[in-house]
Amino acid sequence: MLRELEIVEQLILGQDPLHRGQALHTPKDPALDQARAHYYQQLKRVSKQHAAEPAQPSLPARSGQNRAGERWSIAEDNRLSALWETSATVTSAELADKLGRSRTAILARLVKQGYFPDQASAMQADDQRLEQAGQPAWWATQPKPAIPATTPATPPSPHAHTAQGSGPIDIPNAGKAWSASDDARLRASWHDPAAPNCASIAQSMGRSRAAIIARLVRIGEYPDRDAVRAAERERESNLGRED
């Protein structure tokens, strides 16, 4: 059953489970993504019911935090994003096990990707998922000094998601799973004749700019985040020439 979970996970990520590293190139379809996610959740439920059974000896052991300190690749970022969004119950502990990172590194990367405004918000969301699964909150029991505070070394970028005359504004939908209607709204906003940038779309949808960029990749508008940023710069330069 664990092998089946891994196969379905690869399908959700758009990867060929028989040829590692190769994409399936299946057309993007929100209904299909939801069906896969539903099947994945049901499979996880059944797997937990049989968790007491002896593990298959042929399955390799998880490598734990063997990638600690290594630079995140685009593929890892995409996998983290897909796993966090696909399952509303997956926690940092499970993601750390799958990706070979620490729980702190997982949440820090989710903050970096724009799912949360800061580490504290990410920890709170992670604890909520644990409690929904009937498990005790974990981050709330950890000593505060164990989570180092981060201070930006450079001034905010021109695209920073902030309110005029104040600090960073609230991001009400940070960390929430994207629905099919959210994806449709994002796609329509991006193709709007007014050519809005990612920051303005983020403000209207209650997300961060980084989350908008990541989602445009996820729904198949662009192959990677750099392509989204390049397209955004091009449309902004076009608007400048029109002015």
Confidence of residue 147 (pLDDT cuts 50, 70, 90): very low
Q: How confident is the model at residue 190, as a pLDDT?
A: 93
**What is the average per-residue pLDDT within 70-93?**
83
Q: How confident is the model at residue 108, as a pLDDT?
A: 92
| CA–CA gap between residue 95 and residue 102 (Å, rounded) | 9
pLDDT tens column, 119-132: 898 899 999 999 88
| CA–CA gap between residue 70 and residue 60 (Å, rounded) | 22
Confidence of residue 186 (pLDDT cuts 50, 70, 90): very high
Q: How confident is the model at residue 64, as a pLDDT?
A: 45
Provide the β-strand partners of residue 162: 168
Hey, is 162 helix, strand or coil? strand
Do you know the residue count of the chain?
Answer: 243
**What is the average per-residue pLDDT within 205-209?**
88
Closest CA to 129 of 99, 159, 94: 94
Cα→Cα distances 111→105, 114, 149, Å? 10, 5, 13
The average confidence (pLDDT) of the chain is: 77
Confidence of residue 182 (pLDDT cuts 50, 70, 90): very high
| CA–CA gap between residue 117 and residue 171 (Å, rounded) | 7
Widest pairwise Cα distance in the chain: 68
pLDDT tens column, 221-236: 998 888 888 888 888 8
| CA–CA gap between residue 186 and residue 204 (Å, rounded) | 10
Q: Does residue 8 or residue 168 have the better pLDDT?
A: 8
Q: Does residue 106 or residue 25 have the better pLDDT?
A: 106
Poorest-pLDDT segment among 18-27, 181-190, 211-220:
18-27
Q: How confident is the model at residue 166, as a pLDDT?
A: 41
Cα→Cα distances 21→75, 163, 166, 220, Å? 9, 41, 44, 18
Element (H, E) at 230: helix 225-242
Cα→Cα distances 228→28, 197, 225, 233, Å? 17, 10, 5, 9
Q: Which residue bears the tokens 């049901």?
A: 42
| CA–CA gap between residue 81 and residue 8 (Å, rounded) | 16
150: which DSSP letter? Answer: -
Confidence of residue 48 (pLDDT cuts 50, 70, 90): low
Which residues lie closer than 8 Å to 20 by C-beta, 6 or more apart?
A: none
Show the tokens assigned to 108.
């820090």
Show the tokens assigned to 140.
């709330």
15: which DSSP letter? Answer: B
Q: Does residue 51 or residue 130 have the better pLDDT?
A: 130
